[in-house]
């Protein structure tokens, strides 16, 4: 049994596709299939059921997967430990982030980190919260930064110091732009622009609106905060967006923040990682930088 066979097995188990798995670990599909066949011969059991394009784990595959994942995690930890012999002079760190922290919060922290530790290669992967959770559980990122998060199986929260507030924004030409505040009933009467399913921003907003007794009469779904801001500017509706995301537009008078009476939506950005992994020195150093940023938040 070789590590390459375990890597191939885990890639197929997580991607549920031989072609996508081969692409992810940079192998030809025939080579990857060969690794799986050799592993199945070694174990004397089939690990996958192939029904057309659909790939699922057999009972043996399901039993084998957590053991293979632990071996992969231990190997990654070992590599990181060797890389850290020279302290933080060299190494690698992969950060996964949901859209709001990834675009509007982390770049400043990454800039500080890169200046402080120029020998650490840092990569940032941005997607919605659901995808980042999957990447954390699959051990594809060292840390995940997400908002309004409930821990899932295999995840551990290591920091939750960054606080965000979702605020209601309208076009400066909207009648509400000239009012001091609006009521929950007013919000229910407008078209509300919302993020896609799987977005933590949407989940946090929906919970808060439900608690306040607000049921929007009409919604329009978009899969990016920037798209939502542009649609609000165009007068297509109103939206709750992160305070971190609107500083430039508010200062330029392209968007107006409107308070909603008896409604305040706040959340923490959580930093999560795979429970089976040990936090390396570079990850711990990044958490220190994030903690510094949390103590002096900057909007816009």
Per-residue pLDDT reduced to its tens digit, 153-212: 667 787 777 889 999 999 999 999 998 899 999 999 999 999 998 888 899 999 999 999
Give Cα 185 to chain centroid, integer Å.
33
The confidence band for 87, taking pLDDT boundaries of 50, 70 and 90, is low
Task: Check residue 86 and give its pLDDT.
Answer: 62
* Percentage of residues of the chain with pLDDT beyond 70: 94
CATH code of the region 3-82: 1.10.10.10
Does the domain made of 165-267 have the CATH classification 3.40.190.10?
yes
User: d(Cα 72, Cα 252) in Å, to the nearest integer?
Assistant: 49
Q: What pTM did the predictor assign?
A: 0.69
User: d(Cα 81, Cα 70) in Å, to the nearest integer?
Assistant: 16
Mean pLDDT of the chain: 88
Per-residue pLDDT reduced to its tens digit, 259-286: 999 999 998 888 998 887 778 888 989 9
Residue ranges covered by each domain of the chain: 3-82, 87-162+268-295, 165-267
The confidence band for 296, taking pLDDT boundaries of 50, 70 and 90, is low
User: d(Cα 226, Cα 224) in Å, to the nearest integer?
Assistant: 5
Domains 3-82 and 87-162+268-295 share a fold: no
Does the domain made of 87-162+268-295 have the CATH classification 3.40.190.10?
yes
């Amino acid at each position: 049994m070789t590590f390459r066979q375990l890597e191939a097995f885990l890639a197929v188990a997580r991607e549920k596709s031989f072609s996508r798995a081969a692409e992810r670990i940079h192998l030809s599909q025939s080579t990857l299939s060969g690794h799986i066949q050799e592993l199945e011969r070694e174990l004397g059991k089939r690990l996958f059921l192939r029904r057309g394009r659909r790939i699922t784990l057999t009972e043996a595959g399901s039993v084998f997967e957590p053991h293979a994942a632990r071996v992969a995690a231990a190997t990654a930890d070992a590599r990181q430990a060797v890389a850290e012999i020279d302290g933080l002079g060299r190494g690698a760190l992969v950060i996964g982030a949901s859209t709001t922290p990834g675009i509007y919060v982390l770049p400043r922290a990454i800039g500080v980190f890169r200046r402080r530790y120029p020998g650490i290669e840092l990569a940032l992967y941005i997607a919605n919260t659901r995808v980042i959770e999957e990447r954390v559980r699959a051990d594809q990122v060292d840390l995940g930064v997400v908002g309004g998060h409930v821990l899932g199986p295999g995840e551990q929260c290591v920091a939750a110091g960054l606080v965000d507030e979702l605020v209601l924004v309208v076009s400066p030409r909207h009648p509400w732009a000239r009012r001091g505040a609006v009521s929950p009933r007013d919000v229910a009467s407008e078209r509300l622009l919302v993020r896609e399913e799987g977005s933590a921003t949407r989940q946090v907003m929906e919970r808060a609106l439900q608690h306040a007794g607000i049921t929007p009469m009409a919604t329009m779904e978009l899969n990016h905060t920037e798209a939502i801001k542009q649609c609000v500017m165009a007068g297509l509706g109103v939206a709750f967006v992160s305070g971190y995301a609107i500083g430039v537009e508010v200062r330029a008078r392209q968007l107006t923040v409107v308070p909603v009476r008896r409604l305040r939506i706040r959340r923490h950005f959580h930093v999560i990682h795979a429970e089976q992994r040990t936090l390396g020195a570079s990850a711990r150093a990044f958490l220190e930088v994030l903690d510094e940023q949390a103590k002096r938040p900057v909007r816009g």
